[in-house]
Amino acid sequence: MANFTRIDVFKEMKKSGIVPVFYHPNLMICKRIVRLCYNAGFTVFEFTNRGEQANLIFKELIEYVREEFEDLMLGIGSVVDASTAAYYIGIGADFVVSPILSSEMAKVCNRQKIGWIPGCGTLTEISNAESMGAEVIKIFPSLSVGGPQFVKDIKGPFPWTSIMPTGGVTTEKDNLYSWFEAGVHCVGIGSNLIPNEMINDENTLQEYLIEVSKNLKQVRSNL
């Protein structure tokens, strides 16, 4: 079962600001990336359910996280059906992220009080998701649905909505500022945060992640 309540997860997402989004078929690489992200101050991590062995890797990864990082929250992303959500909840996922809005997935997560972050692209979908119990809404791909301006437009009629854009968010200060100034809860970043060319260069990647963390703090302090 999950190590953290959904409220704890959502609070930590806001505090951390950036949720790393990552998948790799090599377990040792996954462990390294989680460790480097944690060292840089990113305490919520989304592992994506994309490869054929994703379930096996996640099972090993969550055991590693529980042993090494007591305050790191590890969730599963790219979940598109209720049965898959139930499986990952059963092996310890702290939260579930989906690119779609599914009432069946909502029931599975809500029944066990697991944080559920559905993907939405319209105000109607967001309203429906919140009526199903979603505390944080994923917009994906964030640029395709309107970027930071879309967040501002949502916040007009729905000032209570907590949004996590994913896809199109970069690590540059100007880009981060545009999203947080628009009012996001946090942002999800994949290859822009964990570039493929740095995956096997531990020192370079660690320096880069620390620099991104510093940039984020500066951006948020200027809001």
Nearest-angstrom CA–CA distance, 35 and 209: 11
pLDDT band at 202 (very low <50, low <70, confident <90, very high): very high
How far is residue 56 CA from its own chain's centroid?
A: 20
Compute φ and ψ for 93, nearest 5 degrees: -60, 135
Residue 143, pLDDT > 90, answer no
6-221: in CATH 3.20.20.70: yes
The domain spans of the chain are: 6-221
pTM of the model: 0.97
Compute φ and ψ for 78, nearest 5 degrees: 60, 35
Q: Could you tell me what percent of the chain has a pLDDT over 90?
A: 95
pLDDT band at 1 (very low <50, low <70, confident <90, very high): confident
Residue 51, pLDDT > 90, answer no
pLDDT digits (tens, 9 = 90+) for 64-107: 999 999 999 999 999 999 999 999 999 999 999 999 999 999 99
